[in-house]
Amino acid sequence: MNYRFTNILKVIIFFCFIFEIQSEEIQKPYKNLAKALQNPADVRNLDLSFQGLKTLPNKIGQLKNLQKLDLGGNEPTILSKEIWQLKDLQKLNLNNNKLTVLPKEIGQLQNLQELSLHSNELVNLPKEIGQFKNLQN
């Protein structure tokens, strides 16, 4: 009986280990937009931070299932309208950019839970920011 229990326990541990590895692979961020666009429906996490972007690529709007977008440490002064098409977006990092305006269209991101804006050149925030129901941070 003890032998069977040990084997069952080994099988359970093995499957837990496999599940954890697959889970990490799914959530691992893409760091290259060109690679992300090869399978746009699969991309949930995109990290384009500190890549010297002065403008944001228009093709970012193709990542319809994107949940986390990190654009921190770049140099855009304005956000491209394609970002507002990312309806599943939950986390948006815009820290350390040169943003002067945050468009009212940000209100279209109704699933947004985290919005990071520090170290920008923003003077005002649009009233639409107050309409987020899920915003935690």
Q: 9-65: per-residue pLDDT in tens?
A: 555 665 555 555 444 445 689 999 999 999 999 999 999 999 999 988 889 999 999
- What SS3 state is found at 51? coil
Mark whether 20 and 44 lie in a shared domain: no
Mark whether 82 and 119 lie in a shared domain: yes
Q: Which helix (H) or strand (E) holds 10?
A: helix 2-27
- What SS3 state is found at 27? helix
Residue at 136 is within a domain: no
Range of the domain at 16: 1-29
Mark whether 25 and 35 lie in a shared domain: no
Mark whether 19 and 37 lie in a shared domain: no
- CB-CB contact of 98 with 75 (8 Å): yes
Q: Which helix (H) or strand (E) holds 117?
A: none
pLDDT of residue 23: 45
Mark whether 72 and 18 lie in a shared domain: no
Tokens of 137: 């941070």
Q: Cα separation of 79 and 93, whole Å? A: 12
Neighbouring CB atoms inside 10 A of 90's CB total 18
**Partners of residue 68 on adjacent β-strands:** 45, 91
- What SS3 state is found at 133? coil
Mark whether 37 and 7 lie in a shared domain: no
Strand segments, DSSP code E, in 10-133 are 45-47, 68-70, 91-93, 114-116
Report pTM. Answer: 0.79
Which CATH number characterizes residue 105's domain? 3.80.10.10
Mark whether 21 and 88 lie in a shared domain: no
In tens, the pLDDT along 81-114 reads 899 999 999 999 999 999 999 999 999 999 999 9
